[in-house]
Amino acid sequence: MDESRNGGGLNPSQRRHLLTSCQYADKLLADIESILAAAQSKSPFQKFKPDLSPVQAKVVQDYVARVRSQLVRILDSQGVPLPEPILGSLHSIRVTLGFVEIAFDECRPKRMTGYGEIAPDVGTAVSGLVDEIQGIVARLDRYLAEGRSADLNERLHRLESAGADLGLVKALERAIHRHGFVEFRPALANIIERLENRSFEIAVFGRVSCGKSSLLNYIVAENVLPVGVNPITAVPTRLVYGAEPRAMAWFADRKPEQLTADRLADFVTEERNPGNTQHVTRIVVELPAARLGEGIVYVDTPGLGGLATSGAAETKAYLPRCDLGVVLVDAGSTLSQEDLATIQSLHESGTTASVLLSKADLLAPPDRERARQYVMEHIRTDLGLELQVNPVSIRPGFTDLLDSWLEREILPLYGHHAELARASLNRKIGALRLGVEAALTAQLRRSRAFADGADWGSIDADLRLAAGRTAEARTDCIDMTDRLRDCGPELVRVAAGAAIEVPQGHPAGGIEIAAVMERAAAQQSARITSAIQTVAQEGFSTLFRAAQKLGLESAPDAHDLDDLLKNMPRLDLGTADIKVRRGVLQLLLGKRFAVWAVERQLRAQVGPQVEESVHSYARVLQAWVRKTFASLQEAFDAYADTYRAQLTRLGAGANEADVNEDAVRADLEALAAEPQDAPFQQSAS
């Protein structure tokens, strides 16, 4: 019934119209506020002139507030409730960031050709610009994905309320937040997480299938972690002491879930959770194991060097967070560059490293000692570190090696793990302190940098060109793997040409013909390795020059970028049973006919198998290419982002007046006032 006819005020349709009008009016008021804010913005893309005086702007704001207040009263007088917000700010910002990434992806040279031809050098610079911006957007999105846990100041306040003395950590947080040193936030977040969790974490690192999970299963005397020859661990898995066996998994997009031991493989293995598609953020397994002392945590990390890049990224992100890093080097293989990089990253983050020669049962005692000395010498030569290497094995008859290491180096840690965790944390805080102090000092150098007239823009341009070349090389290499996918008939044709060159009377066997096709495929994939090697060397040279111009000691080592081509997959056709018949007629009709006839035989015998093998090889090779470029990009960005931040502090692209020298000096003095030998003290409570 129409309520207005019975003295009941507005009917539902009229109320909805009134509400809609008020909402539209509020939107227009928001537009006015945006105009006021935009007029005072420092954006380089100004839309509105700042032609209002401060007094006028204040009056407009007051009237906007008055109109809004009246809108609420109007709706209240008619019994129209205010609607609840339906969109989350965090979600909306992340969606908007997705559109920002898409907008810049549309700026890649291949997508801009419709507007006209782009010169090669310009296209390379644009590719680098797109990668640079998308990298920043991705880092902001990851920060937002952390949710409330990303509020470092709030977490520090809770810790301080619990009785922790956080003078230096708070000074670091204040300086990082005040001056926008976002590149230091991950290190600070790791420190705060360690403050919140007082356990002593022993993380096990190593290449795929080096025996990490097997070693941990032996330590806890329980086959709880899945093992295998393929990439197994997809996310870091923590083993802690618990009165009853149980496991918990935390996810980015749903509530935590309690697991049984037989379901653990569904979440931690690459086979059942490829690329962490289930969005697992954390897995904790509780066991009543004698070697899981109170406060001691063992962590099984994803293997490095596998085709799956997400697990390796998880491991590299976890590196600075542990208190002791155990690096397994496979005795049946060789010391890899990734092993050395892991040890170096642990050292640079202030984490103690222990190196184990796993699967030592594969070697006779004399060979075992030579392998141990070889690994120690390589670590000494390449990294300048003196580390002992301990051979271990879980095979029956050899477990005394592992037991000896545990008794000598690990079990003694249990009695004073709190002290060790504090010492480990102090080293991490000290390393962060040095970085922040260097950044603050660079802020003060900005004025002198302007006076010197340094060509900072050329450094930025060089970094951008190097990033662009990497992006272009990645696209080219992926395209090459796509073309390789369809090269089966070409390989058969090459093999046919080689087969007719075999002297008459010497049968062209299956092994020789398969080897010819494998070599032909290797020649095509060699172009990929050459492209990666070239772009890696160019990237290293660019970073090295940038570090020299900026006067920074954090220049990359040549091995950081150019040793990326190990473990490249190769086509393996096996030992197919191939028999080629060459008649007199083939010889009489000439070489072209002979090649055609043999090619026809080969296609009939192994054509489908070759094409299927080549298809599979191309997929594996493309996964390797993506992984290798991800590693290259990560290595490049680790230095380039620091250099770009330094350029900003030195004044590139910024105004000298933007630097608050008083605030910079105050933060430097606050950091200097904290004790050098004890950056962090935990209260007795």
In the predicted structure, residue 550 carries a pLDDT above the cut 80? no
**Mean pLDDT of all residues in 546-552:** 77
In the predicted structure, residue 567 carries a pLDDT above the cut 80? no
In the predicted structure, residue 310 carries a pLDDT above the cut 50? no
Q: If DSSP codes are grouped into helix, strand and coil, which group holds residue 287?
A: strand
Q: Work out the angle between the directed axes of helices 309-318 and 591-650 (0-180°, nearest 10).
A: 30
Residue 417 banded pLDDT, cuts 50, 70, 90: low
**Mean pLDDT of all residues in 289-302:** 80
What are 179-222's pLDDT values in tens digits? 878 777 777 877 877 777 667 788 888 877 778 888 888 888 88
Residue 165's pLDDT is: 63
In the predicted structure, residue 322 carries a pLDDT above the cut 60? yes
In the predicted structure, residue 315 carries a pLDDT above the cut 80? no
Residue 577 banded pLDDT, cuts 50, 70, 90: low
Residue 149's pLDDT is: 52
Poorest-pLDDT segment among 77-91, 373-387, 418-432, 549-563: 549-563
Q: What is the pTM of this model?
A: 0.51
Q: Which residues pair with 353 in a beta bridge?
A: 325
Residue 629's pLDDT is: 85
**Mean pLDDT of all residues in 443-465:** 67
Q: In which residue are the tokens 């296609």 written?
A: 603
In the predicted structure, residue 510 carries a pLDDT above the cut 70? no
DSSP classification of residue 409? I
What are the phi and psi torsion angles at 177 (to 5°)?
-70, -45
What are 611-638's pLDDT values in tens digits? 888 888 888 888 888 878 877 887 787 7
Residue 446 banded pLDDT, cuts 50, 70, 90: low
* Residue ranges of domains in the chain: 13-77, 85-140, 197-395, 457-654
Question: DSSP secondary structure string, 154-174?
Answer: HHHHHHHHTT-B-HHHHHHHH
CA distance 531 to 534: 5
Residue 658's pLDDT is: 56
Residue 312's pLDDT is: 42
Tokens at 518, concatenated = 């494998």
**Mean pLDDT of all residues in 19-34:** 89
Burial string for 531-543 (b: 16+ CB within 10 Å, else e) reads bbeebbebbbebb
Residue 230's pLDDT is: 44
What are 114-145's pLDDT values in tens digits? 888 888 888 888 888 888 888 778 777 767 76
Residue among 664, 670, 627 at smallest CA distance from 309: 627
Q: Please state, as a whole number, how many other Cβ atoms lie within 10 Å of the Cβ of residue 461.
A: 13
Q: In which residue are the tokens 């350029």 written?
A: 647
CATH entry 3.40.50.300 includes domain 197-395 = yes
In the predicted structure, residue 461 carries a pLDDT above the cut 70? yes
